[in-house]
A and B are shown apart, each in its own frame.
Chain A
Amino acid sequence: MRNLLWKEWHEQSWKLGFACIVLGALALIGMRSRILADQTMAMWVCCLGIMLLPLLSSTGLVPAERSEGTLESLLVLPVSARKILVAKTVMGIALCVLPMIVAALASVLVTGNREYPASAMLGMYGRFTVASLYLFIWMLALTIHLPSETRAGALAMGMVIFWGLATAGFAEPSTPRSLAAISPLAPVYVYGSAFERCPPLVVMVLVPAVIAVILWNWACKRLTNLEGRP
């Protein structure tokens, strides 16, 4: 396992540095310049994060290796597909979480409590991070069989748009609230914003988590899919 993690780290660490710098700098500069209200600025940084990070990590972890041809070299080794995917998932999680932490710290350090309570700001970053983790799992599972990064990126982008619109649609009074729980973006929308009568916390946490686990297991099986190449 250690050697698998070492490999993923070496391959993806540049992305981690890049994302941390971009989000951190944006948060820093944005907050200092005060072109927008602190809360709005933070929300924009979070939105950039949730659109960039899951996509960057999921497309680079499997589709990129598949197109390069090195995935087969991995699958031929005496190691279960599950272990390979665990190492990749760990790296993906790091890629989704760490830059957000950097941006969150930068934001709080600059703004303190001046307009918006620090705890609320951290809460916002936190919710967006959880949502991007769920989104990452969704993207990983649905693009894992694709042989090209660009196709995977396109599909992932489509997913963000779809879930964004869908979750907004859940705000309609006629839709049952609990349905919103299946969306990976649920943590963002349902908590904090003016979303009356949101489902109980347990539901909001457990349902997406269960879906994520199911999707991840499904992804494991599809990782080894070589059927397309006789």
Chain B
Amino acid sequence: MSEQPVIEMRGVAKSFGKNHVLRGVDLSVPAGQTFAFLGRNGAGKTTTIRMLLGLLKPDAGQVRVLGLDPRFQQLEIRRRVGYVAEDQVMFGWMRVKELLAFIAPFYPTWDAAWAAELVNRFELPLATRVKHLSKGQGVRVALLLALAHRPELVILDDPTLGLDPIMRKEFLRDLVSYLQGEKVSVFFSSHLLYEVEPVADSVVILDHGRIIRQAETEDLRANVKRILAPADAEEILRGLPGLLDITRAGRQVTAVVETIAAARTVLAAANVTYQEIDLNLDEIFEAYVIGRKETSNAQPPLERVA
């Protein structure tokens, strides 16, 4: 397995008229991992993915997928990459078996036996027209098309959009068994963090056109924590390294820090009694994306009722 990163972006910028969607994106995705690409709606996730596939050209910067440049070698890239689009509209009039027969010739590495096995495992009705499939089956067809040619990298753009919770769990299960099992690199964009977390090795957060954090999920969980301390420690908390968010809460003040170890040293030296609170990925994401570094009152000040 090559050690070359499967995706590399350096200083990538893209604007649509006055809308500066991407303002300098730096990203490096190593091979063999499941990588979660997180961001709010409209943060630029789909634009980034379109650039990886060569559907859009960047205004500035460099993009490399599997070492190739999507501006000039997009066909080669697409042959080696599986892609599941958000809310994919496929050719509704085709029957499932016709769709497979239509898509197969585009990929020299198409494995017909593997495709047939996936049809069985996904329980897809071959004779049914695509427009008559249920949403869950439609997503499974899309996943099948992305897997059948044995790609090295699979790019998923919010694939669980519109699926009910049970179908979403099934999709993630499929992802875990069929992709992670085969040591395929996965690049998975989503805004449902609680779903992404159990499945992702690493996460990268895109906000306002830039990557604001890239880390392994475990590291992120271990290092980004919330601190709860009495209000008189506010000054000290405000000066903590890697501060993401600080809020006053009545007689207490709470802050979220990037590296708890560094914070612990400062707090110990200042002799502050504090409580550490573990955060889930949703809360970590929130801290990065809408965290306020200047204190504001989260709740109105408590009034003394004599």
Shortest distance from the beta carbon of A40 to any chain B beta carbon, whole Å: 41
Check: B89 CB closer than 8 A to any chain A CB. Answer: yes
- A6, CB-defined interface residue at 8 Å: yes
* Cα(A176)–Cα(B74), bound, Å: 47
Q: State whether A68 and B89 are in contact (beta carbons under 8 Å apart), knowing that A3-B102, A76-B55 are contacts in the complex.
A: yes
Interface residues of B in 25-47 (CB under 8 A from A): 46-47
Cα(A80)–Cα(B75), bound, Å = 7
Whether a CB of chain A sits under 8 angstroms from the CB of B106 is yes
Which single member of B21, B89, B101, B107 contacts A230 (CB below 8 Å)? B21
Q: Which residues of A contact B76 (CB under 8 A)?
A: 78
A213 to B206, CA, bound (A): 44
Instruction: Kindly list chain B residues whose C-beta atoms are within 8 Å of the C-beta of A11.
Output: 93
How distant is the Cα of A75 from the Cα of B53 in the complex, in angstroms?
10
Contact check, A227 vs B50: say whether CB atoms are below 8 A apart. no
Question: Are B55 and A224 closer than 8 Å at their CB atoms?
Answer: yes
Classify chain A's interface size: 20 to 34
B22 to chain A, nearest CB (A): 10
A158 at the interface (CB under 8 A from B): no
Other A-B pairs beyond A79-B106, A80-B75, 18, CB < 8 Å: A3-B101, A3-B105, A3-B106, A6-B102, A7-B94, A7-B102, A10-B94, A72-B89, A73-B90, A75-B55, A76-B53, A77-B106, A78-B75, A78-B76, A78-B79, A226-B50, A226-B56, A230-B19
Please list 24 pairs of residues, one from A and one from B, whose beta carbons are closer than 8 Å in the complex, sorted by A's number: A2-B105, A3-B101, A7-B91, A7-B102, A10-B94, A11-B93, A72-B55, A73-B88, A73-B90, A75-B55, A76-B53, A76-B55, A76-B85, A77-B103, A78-B75, A78-B76, A78-B78, A78-B79, A78-B106, A224-B55, A226-B55, A227-B16, A230-B16, A230-B47
